[in-house]
Every structure is written in C-alpha cells, then in structure tokens.
C-alpha cells in the first residue's frame, strides 16, 4: 500500500540521513532552515502520497506526462517568487515541453481507462502543483542547509506526519518487501542529497527543466 511504502521508506531515509549528517559533521540548524525543513517535509509528504496513489491507477508514462506541468509552474514561480531571470532558451524549452505533454495526453485520452484512472489523474495533477512548490522550496532549503541535514530532517518531518495514522494503517512489511523498500530508501536518500547539492549551485527555473528527461526512463520502465 501507498501509506506503508511511504512510512517505511521514509524511516530508512531518516536512518541514512542521520548517518550522513554525523559523518559530515553535525551542527545546529538555523531557524530559517528549520522552517524550510518543516514546510518542505509537509509539502513532500502530501505530494508523494498523491503521486503514488495516482500512479497505482494511471499508466506510468501518462503519470509522468501529467507531472510535467510541475517544471513549467516552477519556472513561473521561480521568476515570481525567487526573482530569477528566465532566459529565452528556457522559455522555448518549456513551450516545446508543453506541446509534448499535449501530444501524449491526446493519445492517452483515446484509451478507455475508466473512473479509477480519472481520479488517479486528478491526484497526479494535484501532486504536480505541490511538486512545483517543492522545487522552489528545494532551492531555498539548499541555500540554508547542507545536503545531509536536509535528507535527515526532511525525512523526519515526513515520518512524523505519517506516524499519526500508524495505529490504523501501519503494518510490518512482509519479508519479501524488505529488499525493495531498502532499495527505494537508498535511491530516495541519494536523490535528496544530489538534488540538494545541485539546487545550491543552480537556479530553480533552470534546473527544473532537467525533470523532462525522466520521461525516457518511465517509458522504458
């Protein structure tokens, strides 16, 4: 289930983040960093739950295509919120990507996927809006905290939020799922570390465009 996947994967992220933070050298987070950890952790929790719930009901390639509104929204938010300069090249890339999304959705609209796919699509679109906000928060967070701190504390916020529902929803994962969960935790942890480092060295509007390469991966998988 989506809840338990998120709960146990995030718990693994906390453990990995704590180790990395200790190795990098622990220091008390600034007040600004704490606010950003809490904010981004909450946004990420809602975003991921919506995306994975929708992903279970919509074909993967279509899910990724729907999620591609996020970089375009992030481009607008970066200019408005962070006062970033958006080059003509990036704008042209965003327009081309938008056209590509339209072509994909036009093709998928011919498929008879049913009501479940429709509500899944709504969930993914809502997740994409949150993801655009998350991209901006990533840039702000990466300038206020080091990657290991971010990976640990953001995951801790997610686990804390999920724990409230644990008495009703949490189950101990079956043995067969432990290895996939561990793999997902490692991949998510490495991703958070690398994204945090990247967004500390580049503007959000520019880096958001790299999201489009994931369609190649999702279509292949």
Kindly list the averaged pLDDT for each block of 10 residues, start to end, along the chain of length 221.
Answer: 92 95 92 95 94 88 81 88 84 79 68 75 91 94 94 95 95 94 95 94 87 77 78
- What's the pLDDT score for residue 196? 94
- What's the pLDDT score for residue 109? 61
Length of the chain in residues, anyone? 221
Residue with tokens 């600034």: 30
- What's the pLDDT score for residue 75? 87
Query: What's the distance, CA 164 to chain centroid?
Result: 21
- What's the pLDDT score for residue 110? 60
**Through-space distance between the first and last CA atoms of the chain, rounded to whole angstroms:** 20
Residue 208 CB partners (closer than 8 Å, separation 6+): 70, 71, 74, 75, 78, 135
How far is Cα 127 from Cα 32, in angstroms, rounded to an integer? 25
Query: What's the distance, CA 102 to chain centroid?
Result: 22
Residue 48's nearest CA partner among 184, 141, 178, 202 is: 184
How far is Cα 115 from Cα 24, in angstroms, rounded to an integer? 48
- What's the pLDDT score for residue 107? 67
- What's the pLDDT score for residue 208? 86
C-beta of residue 124 within 8 angstroms of C-beta of residue 104: no
Burial of 179 (0-12, 13-18, 19+ CB in 10 A): exposed
């Amino acid at each position: 289930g989506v809840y338990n996947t998120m709960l146990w994967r995030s718990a693994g992220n906390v453990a990995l983040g704590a180790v990395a933070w200790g190795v990098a050298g622990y220091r008390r987070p600034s007040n600004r960093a704490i606010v950003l950890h809490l904010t981004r952790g909450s946004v990420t929790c809602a975003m991921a739950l919506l995306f994975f719930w929708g992903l279970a009901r919509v074909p993967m390639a279509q899910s990724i295509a729907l999620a591609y509104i996020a970089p375009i929204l992030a481009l607008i938010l970066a200019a408005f919120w962070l006062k970033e300069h958006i080059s003509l090249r990036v704008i042209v890339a965003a327009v081309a990507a938008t056209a590509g999304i339209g072509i994909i959705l036009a093709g998928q609209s011919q498929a008879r996927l049913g009501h479940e796919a429709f509500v899944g699509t709504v969930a993914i679109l809502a997740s994409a809006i949150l993801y655009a906000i998350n991209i901006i928060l990533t840039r702000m967070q990466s300038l206020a905290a080091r990657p290991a701190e971010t990976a640990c504390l953001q995951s801790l916020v997610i686990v804390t939020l999920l724990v409230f529902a644990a008495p009703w929803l949490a189950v101990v994962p079956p043995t067969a799922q432990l290895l996939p969960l561990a793999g997902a935790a490692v991949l998510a942890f490495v991703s958070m570390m690398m994204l945090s480092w990247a967004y500390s060295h580049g503007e959000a509007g520019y880096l958001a465009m790299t999201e489009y390469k994931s369609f190649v991966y999702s279509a292949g998988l």
